[in-house]
Amino acid sequence: MNQMTATAPATPILPDAQTVTSVTHWTDRLFSFRVTRPASLRFRSGEFVMIGLMGDPHPQTGKVKPLLRAYSIASPSWDEELEFYSIKVQDGPLTSRLQHIQPGDQIILRPKPVGTLVHDALLPGKRLWLFATGTGFAPFASLLRDPETFEAYDEIIMTHTCRDVAELEYGRQLIDSIRTDEMLGELLGEENLAKLTYYPTTTRETSAKMGRITDLLKSGEVQRDLGVDAISPNTDRAMICGSMGLNTDLKEILEGYGLEEGANSDPKHFVVEKAFVG
């Protein structure tokens, strides 16, 4: 892991500019960064905003347009900065450039948070499943640092599936900080921390638990490992954030258990982040 931190923010030069305060490279495919937060920005944990950089000038007109993508906010709503967790795609229009940002640089951030991975889109329940693959962990890094998540449920199960162990590290450190950081413990309630179970799995490198979460659920291995009863609409709620394949496959599995998909305007048993591109 290679970390850089800024000292003094620069003067904004872009529309909706925010200044990068730190960047952490986790692997050659993954990085996270923190930026200044617009004073007026309020959001619900789990929501996303559009962020990006100015694109290249149009070859004929010379006009420059912003290149923006949806990014889940990974920091909690009480944090004075904003954190994001991103993939690096070498030929991706945005991330091929975004991966080179340094503390003190500016990014564009449209301050209009939206999204479906919010508590308001779920009916009250006893057990909350948070299912992530890859950088889909980001909205849960926000939700897991929100006291409401711990107040609303008796049990929270965070599953994270990545190709290899190094790709789990951002999530592993986040879970670790929730369990050991004094300030976070106090905020979330020390007595609540035992509610959290972390279930990391890998698919392309040997680790303590291997396999796609979808296969592990279908075979009943997750339920056996965690000693939990069958998933049911009476008790279980779920949030899903990952690749298109995961979203589709997991939706089908949860519907098989009788759970129905909810939305902000129609809260039900589970929600899927469709804006996410992992």
Piece of 8-16, 50-58, 186-194, 206-214 that binds ligand A2P (CB under 6 A): 206-214
For ligand A2P, give the closer residue by CB, 144 or 162: 162
Considering the rule CB under 6 A, would residue 18 count as an interface residue with ligand A2P?
A: no
Q: Which of 97, 110, 212, 268 binds ligand A2P (CB under 6 A)?
A: 212
Residues in the chain: 278
Q: Which of 246, 254, 259, 271 binds ligand A2P (CB under 6 A)?
A: 246
C-alpha span between 12 and 19 (Å, rounded): 8
Task: In angstroms, give the least distance from the CB of 205 to ligand A2P.
Answer: 10
- Classify residue 81 by burial, with Cβ atoms within 10 Å: 0-12, 13-18, 19+: middle
C-alpha span between 18 and 107 (Å, rounded): 6
Report 131-150 residues binding ligand A2P (CB under 6 A): 133-134
Q: Which of 214, 231, 273, 276 binds ligand A2P (CB under 6 A)?
A: 214
Is 16 within 8 Å of 54 (Cβ atoms)? Answer: no
Task: In angstroms, give the least distance from the CB of 253 to ligand A2P.
Answer: 9
Report 26-55 residues binding ligand A2P (CB under 6 A): none
Considering the rule CB under 6 A, would residue 249 count as an interface residue with ligand A2P?
A: yes
Considering the rule CB under 6 A, would residue 116 count as an interface residue with ligand A2P?
A: no
Find all residues with CB under 8 Å of 153, minimum gap 6, and list them.
125, 126, 127, 128, 195, 237
Backbone angles phi and psi of 64, in degrees to 5? -115, 125
Considering the rule CB under 6 A, would residue 272 count as an interface residue with ligand A2P?
A: no
Q: Which of 173, 243, 267, 275 binds ligand A2P (CB under 6 A)?
A: 243
**DSSP string computed for 250-278:** HHHHHHHTT--B-BTTB-BSEEE-SS---
Q: Which of 46, 113, 115, 278 binds ligand A2P (CB under 6 A)?
A: 278
Task: In angstroms, give the least distance from the CB of 107 to ligand A2P.
Answer: 23
Considering the rule CB under 6 A, would residue 76 count as an interface residue with ligand A2P?
A: no
Considering the rule CB under 6 A, would residue 207 count as an interface residue with ligand A2P?
A: no
Q: Which of 12, 245, 256, 258 binds ligand A2P (CB under 6 A)?
A: 245
Neighbour order of strands in the sheet with 236-241: 196-202, 155-162, 127-133, 236-241, 270-272
Handedness of CA 232, 144, 22, 177 (dihedral sign): negative
**DSSP category for residue 247:** H
Q: Which of 65, 112, 126, 204 binds ligand A2P (CB under 6 A)?
A: 204
For residue 171, which of 136, 196, 195, 146 has the smallest C-alpha distance? 136
- Name the residues that contact ligand A2P, by CB under 6 A: 133-134, 161-163, 203-204, 212-214, 242-243, 245-246, 249, 278
